[in-house]
Amino acid sequence: MSTLRAAGLVTLVLAALLGSAYALGRSLVPEQEHNAGVKASVNSPHYADQPPSQDFPGPPRHSPSPSPSASTPASDDGDGPYGSRTSTGSSRVALTFDDGPDPRYTPQVLALLKEYGVKATFCVVGENAESHPNLIQAIVADGHTLCNHSWNHDVNLGKRSPDAIRADLLRTSDAIRAAVPGARIGYFRQPGGAWTRPVVSTCEELGMTPLHWAVDPADWTVPGAANIASTVMTQTGPGSIVLLHDAGGDRSGTVEALRHLLPELLDRYQLEALPVDAT
């Protein structure tokens, strides 16, 4: 009997010690700045989990646009890699949102844009457009511009054959137009910014302008709303194209940052959706 009591006492002591260790460990873990947002589903595409390709002469995934060089040539059409566009061409600023649509975050982004009367550009992924046609319809109904962002965010798309690139872009545009027949798709943004000559040539042959960016707060790394807003405000200038995300992972920080960014940006700039008749 005494042996059983002793064993029970040992068990209680061990349980108490384990509980204390767990509590201590939790106290040492810093709180996320925005942990109240809806968490991304484990079954949803997490494009931010894709590592940057090291095989391209263009910039790494979602990095600021580099200066033109022999390895990232620019043309008269734009000052980004292989002549991709990094500026609106005017004093106006363009907000762009990649990787959607997403049923959790895209409606929140659309609601904030509508609240402040701002038009933006949405670079949508084909498989998401196919899965959520109602959100493509909502984007167009609110007067925003659509941009092709490949079928499934293939960072290596530019390494593939011209036929494969063309098929990918056409499949994505078809999914967009299945939701909105006759939708104007004036732009293509290469996943990861991994531009190559073939992918630029193909998108231009299909009537789309290669769209890069000038400002990148790296919101796909989930740095918190304050960091996202600070980077955008300090790096944005007249004509900037700003890269943000409404899908591909937890975007609650991006949504929260927008609440602060939109009124501040509107105090300094006119915000525009990139024109849909771009060629």
Residue 46 has what pLDDT? 65
Q: Is 245 a catalytic residue?
A: yes
* Residue 98 is a catalytic residue: yes
Cβ pair 100, 106 in contact under 8 A: yes
User: What does the pLDDT read at residue 124?
Assistant: 98
**Which pLDDT score, from 0 to 100, does residue 276 have?**
80
Pairwise CA distance, residues 118 & 186, whole Å: 19
Chunk the chain into consecutive blocks of 10 residues (it has 279) and report each block's average pLDDT, rounded to whole numbers. Answer: 50 47 40 37 56 44 36 51 96 98 98 98 98 98 98 96 98 98 97 96 97 96 97 98 96 97 98 80
Q: The domain at 71-268 falls in which architecture?
A: Alpha-Beta Barrel (3.20)
Q: Quickly tell me which residue has 């996202």 as its tokens.
A: 228
How high is the pLDDT of residue 196? 97
CA distance 173 to 163: 15
- How high is the pLDDT of residue 26? 37
Contacts of 191 (CB under 8 A, 6+ apart): 47, 50, 61, 149, 150, 153, 154, 155, 157
Identified catalytic residue from 34, 62, 98, 250: 98
For residue 205, give the amino acid letter: E
Q: Which residues contact 113 (CB under 8 A, 6 or more apart)?
A: 119, 120, 142, 144, 258, 262
How many secondary structure helices (H) and strands (E) does the chain include?
8, 6
Q: What is the pLDDT of residue 79?
A: 84
Which residues make Cβ contacts (< 8 Å) with residue 58, sequence separation at least 6? 72, 81, 82, 158, 190, 193, 194, 195, 196
Residue from 34, 62, 132, 245 carrying the catalytic annotation: 245
* Whole-structure pTM value: 0.77
User: Where do the structural domains in the chain lie, given as residue ranges?
Assistant: 71-268
